[in-house]
Structure 1
Amino acid sequence: IPLLLAGIVYAFTRSNEKFHTWFDGWVLQLPVLGVLMKKVIMARFANFFAIMYASGIPVLECLRSCENIAGNRAVREAVHEAGLQIADGGGISASFESTNLFPPLVIRMLRVGENTGALESALENVSYFYTRDVHEGIDRMQKLLLPVLTVGLGLFLLLVIVAVFKPIYDLVIQNAI
């Protein structure tokens, strides 16, 4: 019965786009990994948007192309929503702000770029900031993870040693009596 239930849940979730969008949004809310993933996505999005916009591609075309770059359905849906609002005449920063997914830094930089006519430069700054932040975050995580993994490996080896020597010790004690 558990395997049947797992199969039904798997079939439901595999074909359900709303579930995938919800799950991807939930992953972005995770404390450490979600924050890091969101920064990676924002850096990638801003970088590609800046490159395409600098090439003379219209904003709406840039957004359509950037929808799938993120690799996250929640971000893809938010970019799509922002694109629809921009197509309806909304401002770029206001459209992204209304999605409630993009961080305040991205919104502020979009607003500055939109108001000054330097959207490409603003997006490049966002990309640079988040790329640097991601590298620093990964370095910090590695420094924290290394001692944890060392202790974990030591405990695992201790468990193996105890599992090997305890029966031998029990035999020696039993024969000594």
Structure 2
Amino acid sequence: MPRFDYKGRDQRGNAITGYLEAGSTDSVANQLLNSGVTPIEITENRPRPSLADRYRKWRARRRPKLDDMILFARQLYTLMRSGVPIIRALNGLADNIDNPYLQDVIRELVAGLESGLDLSSAMARHPQVFSDLFISMVRVGEHSGNLDAALLQLSEYLEREKETRDQIKTAMRYPTFVVVAIVIAIGVINFFVIPTFAGIFAKFDAELPWQTRLLVGMSNFMVEYWYVLAAGFIAGILAVRGWLKTQKGRLIWDRYKLKLPAVGIILHQALLQRFATAFAVTQRAGVPLIQGLTVVANAVDNAYVEQHINGMRTGVEQGESLTRTATQSGMFTPLILQMIAVGEETGAVDEMLDNIAVFYGREVDYRLKYLSSALEPILIVVLGAMVFILALGVFLPMWDLMAVARGG
């Protein structure tokens, strides 16, 4: 029961303080009045939350990850395939899902269904959890009577998406580690190594080469004004993050990262795979072409590619063929254009898109396996340049000092 601290006056007008355990402030006030105390102030004494309570609250605010959505789609498909009514299936999922945030969302879906909404409309109330692709697929499945099949396609699509993301993360682990090690090494050299050598050089009062003067100057600046550099670094990160949240900033960055050495081609092919997979899923489910392009544009998660897909949608709305609009976009390779053209002629666009997704999936897998090997020359050049500059700056004056000492 909550504890309440109170301040009041007794029948003689004397100030008194204390605490009572009650269900509400009204209960405390009634108890005080019955005992002859006039309450002046009543405040609830809330205990400080424990670390475990804070962790539970943090988990409750944590939005579901891709793993959670895969599990949700796969389990809901299994339950519906087994003939379990949808409300009962969702209630069962709400009890078994580990993510508290998603549990609350599922219970709200149940409330929406009980109030007369269909599942896709209830999901549309939670765009932070369910993507446009997810909602569109569920809507088509409901209208066609094949909701379980739509959920199966969604789970398979999300599983492929997770596999690609995990591969990219694994491939970037080694380069990221090397870059972090380089940054740490630069800090150690500038804060500890160079100041030590600078003290030795100062004792001999010798003329230092420009490489050494440059290194010493940079080191002195970092040692004396490290707080300025730290503040500038943090401000720069916040500014870049704010810029990337703007429409123009995100468009520029999404276009530029597709041209990065070694990594850009992988990102481009992964986006083409995602486009083909999502587009095939929508076409196989019976989503209208224009609506399907809108859904796919939001699913690719790249503003630059999204802009081109929206341009394709505009062309289709004006009566042009899908192949022509794809060619005019300049975004797709000749292989994709040829496969789309064959699909339009044969009426099997979804099958051709599946073939495109399989091809680029293999290409992404191959390039990711050798990404570390492709980045190694770049990292070696960076490390070599650092060692060369350090050697020139530190060892040249030492050789001069040794020559002076021998001459002396």
Please tell me the residue identity of whatever aligns with 1:76.
Answer: E
CA contact (8 A) 2:251 2:304 kept: yes
2:308 corresponds in structure 1 to 78
2:258 corresponds in structure 1 to 28
Residues 142/6 of structure 1: CA separation in 2 closer, same or farther (3 Å cut): closer
Residues 105/31 of structure 1: CA separation in 2 closer, same or farther (3 Å cut): farther
Deviation (angstroms), 1:111 = 1.1
Deviation (angstroms), 1:117 = 1.4
Deviation (angstroms), 1:31 = 3.1
Paired residues for 1:4-83 under 5 Å: 6=236, 10=240, 13-14=243-244, 16-83=246-313
Residues 7/149 of structure 1: CA separation in 2 closer, same or farther (3 Å cut): closer
CA–CA distance in structure 1, aligned partners of residues 280 and 378 of structure 2: 39
CA–CA distance in structure 1, aligned partners of residues 368 and 237 of structure 2: 36
Please tell me the residue identity of whatever aligns with 2:243.
Answer: T
Deviation (angstroms), 1:14 = 4.0
CA contact (8 A) 2:339 2:352 kept: yes
Residues 147/113 of structure 1: CA separation in 2 closer, same or farther (3 Å cut): same
Residues 26/143 of structure 1: CA separation in 2 closer, same or farther (3 Å cut): closer
1:137 corresponds in structure 2 to 367
Residues 127/11 of structure 1: CA separation in 2 closer, same or farther (3 Å cut): closer
Deviation (angstroms), 1:30 = 2.2
Within the candidate set 333, 339, 352, 1:122 is matched to: 352
CA–CA distance in structure 1, aligned partners of residues 377 and 275 of structure 2: 34
TM-score normalised by length of structure 2: 0.34
Deviation (angstroms), 1:100 = 1.3
Which structure has the larger Rg? 2
Q: Which has the higher contact order (CA 8 A, sep 6+)?
A: 1
Map Cα deviations across residues 133-168 of structure 1 (whole Å, 9 max, x no partner).
000111122455579989x99xxxxxxxxxxxxxxx
Residues 142/94 of structure 1: CA separation in 2 closer, same or farther (3 Å cut): same
1:108 corresponds in structure 2 to 338
CA–CA distance in structure 2, aligned partners of residues 11 and 124 of structure 1: 36
Structure 1 or 2: larger helix share?
Answer: 1
* Residue ranges of structure 2 left out of the alignment (5+ in a row): 1-227, 384-408
CA–CA distance in structure 2, aligned partners of residues 128 and 17 of structure 1: 32
Secondary structure of the equivalent of 1:67? helix
Map Cα deviations across residues 110-133 of structure 1 (whole Å, 9 max, x no partner).
111112211111100100000010
Map Cα deviations across residues 33-80 of structure 1 (whole Å, 9 max, x no partner).
111001101111101111110111111111111112111100111111
Please tell me the residue identity of whatever aligns with 1:123.
Answer: L
1:97 corresponds in structure 2 to 327
CA contact (8 A) 2:262 2:375 kept: no
Secondary structure of the equivalent of 2:298? coil
* Number of equivalent positions: 152
2:185 corresponds in structure 1 to none
Structure 1 or 2: larger strand share?
Answer: 2
Secondary structure of the equivalent of 1:134? helix
Percent pairwise identity: 25
Deviation (angstroms), 1:85 = 0.7
Please tell me the residue identity of whatever aligns with 1:137.
Answer: R
* Residue ranges of structure 1 left out of the alignment (5+ in a row): 154-177
Secondary structure of the equivalent of 1:31? coil
Deviation (angstroms), 1:13 = 2.1
